[in-house]
Amino acid sequence: MTDTADGSYVSARRATRLSTLLPILLVATYFTASFILRLLRGGDLASDEAQQVAFSHALQLGYGDQPPLYNWLFYCFGKVFGVSVDTLAFLKNATLLVSCIFLGLAARKVARGRDTAWISVLGLLSLPAIFLLSQRDLTHSVGAFAAVAFFLYVLARMAERPSVGNYALLGAAAGMGFLAKYNFAIIPVATVIALLLEPGLRRLVLTWRLAVTIAVGLVVAGPHVYWVVSHLDTATGDTLTKMRAATSNEAPSQLRAAWQLLASIVKCSALTLAVFAVVYRGHIRTIFAATSEWTRVIGRMLVISMILVFVIMLAVDATLMRPKWISIFFVAFPLYLAFKVDAAGVHVPGAIGKLTVLVGALIFVFLGVVFAASFH
């Protein structure tokens, strides 16, 4: 090997190490900083945090209009570490970190490439629900983000090795997702439809093992489902009231619902898409023209989920949709973008470094904004 070849090889190795080290450093620094700044903000609790503290003294099947998984997690952490702002902040940031880990693992299961995994993780951090809403006052949705990421990882794992154990694990993931956020129930339905529409993956649905998934999911979520049926007004009343917000607009309710949903979709995805477009400018047409089994499956899951959300809005006569209510579905959006890049075979030198810098600047600026706003 010539000196020139040796130098090129060493440079390539260094670039690879750097593209791995930078995102790891960003993720570790960001969640550490988020934890510390929440402690510095003091003991004034936001509404969701106050609810966690209020419900932390007893372990129950249900607590109100939100499912209980995050309450159970905080109850356990509170018993071990005490009920405090420290525990609230640690659990939230640890849960968000878990979301990043499982989404990256899902990408690695399908594409195997480090770049694909980091695109999905950095893309997740660029979602407004993660870097802004979560730092303000989300709790149950934070648990749901982790549940969606875990579900996607298990789905990819099951596709690779469709064993009874993996089908059972998918059922457990689906059950936990429902216990994290009620609208998670849409995701398994969208997944089944998306897989049935993909000939190469249809076999994952058309098998007796799916009964194992359903059975395990019912076992995990069943006790709380019984509680919901027994306390239906408590579990759903407040949410439906918010979605049926009064409005002076004389437009048909169906049109208002469609507009609200479309606006929320844009708010959930536009910033991530813009960051992605900056890094991969010049290759956008190639990337979005590329397709694979998994780009089609994830893309269909997103579209079907939004269609089902719209159908539910029409069914309950909802005229309001806030971005945070559909934010859990967009955990899959960075994974979709990562699979698109992988399918296109596009290799932009330094892309992960650029993505890390852009996302890092974005999330730390808004972390500072949230911190400063807490004193006003």
Give the distance between the most distant pair of CA atoms in the chain: 76
φ, ψ at 333 (rounded to 5°): -65, -45
* 175-201 average pLDDT score: 97
> 100 in a domain, yes or no?
yes
Q: How far apart are CA 147 and CA 180, in angstroms?
A: 7
Domain total in the chain = 1
> 10 in a domain, yes or no?
no
- Report the mean per-residue pLDDT for the chain: 90
pLDDT at 175 over 70: yes
The first and second tokens of residue 6, run together, are 């040796």
> 20 in a domain, yes or no?
no
pLDDT digits (tens, 9 = 90+) for 118-169: 999 999 999 999 999 999 888 999 999 999 999 999 999 999 999 999 999 9
- pLDDT score recorded for residue 15: 56
- pLDDT score recorded for residue 242: 66
Find the domain containing 103 and state its range: 33-373
Q: Which residue type sits at 242?
A: K
- Kindly give the residue spans of alpha helices, DSSP state H, lying in the chain: 3-40, 47-54, 69-81, 85-111, 114-125, 128, 134-136, 140-160, 164-180, 186-196, 209-230, 232-243, 253-279, 284-289, 293-315, 323-326, 332-344, 351-373
> 27 in a domain, yes or no?
no
Left, alpha or beta for 284 (phi > 0: left; psi -120 to 50: alpha)? alpha
How big is the chain by its Cα radius of gyration, in Å?
Answer: 21
pLDDT digits (tens, 9 = 90+) for 257-268: 999 999 999 999
> 225 in a domain, yes or no?
yes
> 146 in a domain, yes or no?
yes
> 21 in a domain, yes or no?
no
pLDDT digits (tens, 9 = 90+) for 212-265: 999 999 999 999 999 988 877 776 656 666 666 655 456 688 899 999 999 999
More confident residue, 374 or 77: 77
The first and second tokens of residue 57, run together, are 């003294």
Q: For the chain, how many residues are written?
A: 376
Q: How far apart are CA 358 and CA 352, in angstroms?
A: 10
- Kindly give the residue spans of alpha helices, DSSP state H, lying in 43-84: 47-54, 69-81
pLDDT digits (tens, 9 = 90+) for 75-124: 999 999 999 999 999 999 999 999 999 999 999 999 877 889 999 999 99
pLDDT at 206 over 70: yes
Comparing CA positions, the residue from 326, 335, 352 lying closest to residue 299 is: 335
> 3 in a domain, yes or no?
no
The pTM score is 0.93
